[in-house]
Amino acid sequence: MSIFINKQTRVLVQGITGKQGSFHTAQMLEYGTNIIAGVSPGKGGQNVEGVPVYDTVFAAIEEETVDASILFIPAPFARDAAFEALDAGVKLIVLIPEHIPLQDAMDIMAYAQKQNAVIVGPNTFGLVSSGSSKIGIMPNRYFVPGPVGIVSRSGTLCYEIVGHLTGNDIGTTTVVGLGGDRVVGLNFIDVLRRFEEDPETKTVILVGEIGGSSEEEAATFISSSMKKPVIAYLAGRSAPPGKRMGHAGAIIERGRGTFESKVKALNAAGVEVAGLPNEVPAMIKKILS
């Protein structure tokens, strides 16, 4: 059983006629994602890869039932596009763009909470129910079904770890990219809670990085509320204080969010932390054996 999405999830692509939107629509369709409509103002009546295009989300929902939307929208306009989807009743929104203005991101999260909707991102690679559906930009070939759930703040690190798992004949249930901006929707605890409830997920990999306190908070949750084994990999071991490393959220400030503090918290919760991504498959095999 996957979490958040499955093969039946009906997906809308906002910004479908743009270069990124059209390319990733083709990739998602190839993976098996049930994309039923796209939105691009002024392009209604066209189609992309056989997917009908509408001028607005509301025009799309008059014709189709929409469960989730993915946004390939420039950051300055992402707030309006997200609000349009939320107003139309879409309950899962994947925000691909990075550097959405901070106040806009806060507005999106607050309105999504009011609408009882889930936001993935921004600055995320999306999420995938392996072998069934992907709503995102991750490479298709690595995401094969298996017993491991993954939740990650980093896209490239997640791809690397999934690639190592696949190379060792280990697949995944669901993989979720939280996003790298300062303000994001889903957090580690939201996803860990769902993995703990999912009978097909036997173990979980947490991919974190320096900055903030989300890994420490996850460690507290793991210690108190999870029976399934969790392992972790953390990026940023050698990052100097005060320097951002790749993501807006990956910055050490006033002694908070250091690599050492995160490892200490995770170890105290019984979570083994891998030194290198290629160490992860052996750790998983040991747990599953």
Mind telling me the catalytic residues? 247
Q: In this structure, are residues 175 and 127 in contact, taking their beta carbons and an 8 Å threshold?
A: yes
Spatial separation of the C-alpha atoms in residues 163 and 222, rounded to whole Å: 25
Q: In this structure, are residues 51 and 117 in contact, taking their beta carbons and an 8 Å threshold?
A: no
Query: What is the phi/psi pair of residue 179, to 5°?
Result: 105, 155
Q: Within a 10 A sphere around the Cβ of 275, how many other Cβ atoms?
A: 9
Question: H helices within 64-211, ranges in order?
Answer: 75-87, 102-114, 155-167, 188-197
Alpha-carbon distances of 13 from 73, 76, 77, 257, 258, rounded to whole Å: 10, 18, 15, 35, 37
Return the beta strands (E) in 15-141 as ranges: 34-39, 47-48, 51-54, 68-71, 92-95, 118-120, 126-129, 133-136
Spatial separation of the C-alpha atoms in residues 157 and 72, rounded to whole Å: 22
Token pair belonging to 22: 């059209």
Q: What is the DSSP letter of 145?
A: E
Query: What is the phi/psi pair of residue 258, to 5°?
Result: -75, 160
Residue reference for tokens 């002024």:
42
